[in-house]
Copies of this chain bind each other. A is one copy, B any other.
Amino acid sequence: MPSDHTRSAILAAAERLYADRGFGDVTLRDIVAEANVNLAAVNYHFGSKDELIAELFVTRSIATNRERLRELKAAEEAGGGRAPIEVILRALVRPTLRGCLGPENQRSTAARFMIRASIESVPPIRRIKNREIDHLRKFAGAMRRSLPDRSEVDIYWGLNFALAMAHHTIRESERLIKLSDGLCDLDDVEDVVQRVVSVATMALTAGRSEAKAPTRVAAR
């Protein structure tokens, strides 16, 4: 069973290259060169380029979702079925932020690959991505249990904004550093997590506890 080596070498090389340079710029020849295997090996082991990408994505997708759900479940069980909204949000955004930010040398290829996937959205990935909705629904459910007084629409908007801040900060991290002349320290991952979580929490709790609700007018 030494044949397994070629297969996993391709997977590793492909993930690294995709994470670094995106899907558009990486060819099969780049991948096999990086993996030191023959060109035909990709089609032999995976069938096609798209299936290679798909396998890469499902593997990482499952792993990421499992990590997020593990944090979420632990929190809900500790709270007897209800977790504080901050903890839920933290479970949602922290795994990704930890993988993509922080000191350069300890960023995970896996997380960076997932970010690429969420950005470039090539056909094979787009097809799979719809399943992620079910995963997000679990978080929406937990949030609803945590904030039973909140309207369902507000829950979805809060979830959307939390993901927005985490994702965008990762994608545009370089620009933010340049814009702020280095003032914003993206290496301090826990600080970033805290900022995202606290803003998202405010978005979800404003008007219920101490803050006043934003007056919303139906523009129609």
A contacts, CB < 8 Å to B: 24, 119-120, 122, 130, 133, 136-137, 140, 152-153, 156-157, 159-161, 163-165, 167-169, 172, 175-176, 178-180, 183-184, 188, 190-191, 194-196, 198-199, 202-203, 206-207, 211-220
Contact = CB atoms under 8 A, between A and B. Distances in A.
A194 B153 CA distance: 14
Copies of this chain per assembly? 2
A180 B199 contact: no
Nearest to A25: B123
Contacts of A156: 176, 179-180, 183-184
B133 A175 contact: yes
16 contacts: A133-B175, A136-B179, A153-B184, A156-B176, A159-B179, A160-B176, A160-B179, A161-B168, A163-B168, A167-B168, A168-B168, A191-B219, A199-B202, A212-B213, A213-B213, A215-B216
